[in-house]
Amino acid sequence: MTKKGELTLRFMILLILALMVLIVVAIIFQDQIAGFVDTLSGTSSTLGSELGQATEGLALE
């Protein structure tokens, strides 16, 4: 007889295994994610400076 809200041992083991898998996947892809973020920030900073230069001549007087 199980009480309401009681977690079974099988569920706890599955939860622990799922967390371990998520941690391992995060560790494996950590370098690729960091490289992707660096690429995005480099692209956005370059795009921002180019956009600023392009709109200098459009200033309203």
- Dump pLDDT digits (tens) for 14-57: 999 999 999 999 888 888 888 888 887 776 666 666 667 667 76
What separation, in Å, do the N-terminal and C-terminal C-alpha atoms of the chain show? 81
- Position 16 scores a pLDDT of 95
- Position 44 scores a pLDDT of 66
Question: Do 2 and 8 meet the contact criterion of CB atoms below 8 Å apart?
Answer: yes
Write out the E strands in 1-61: none
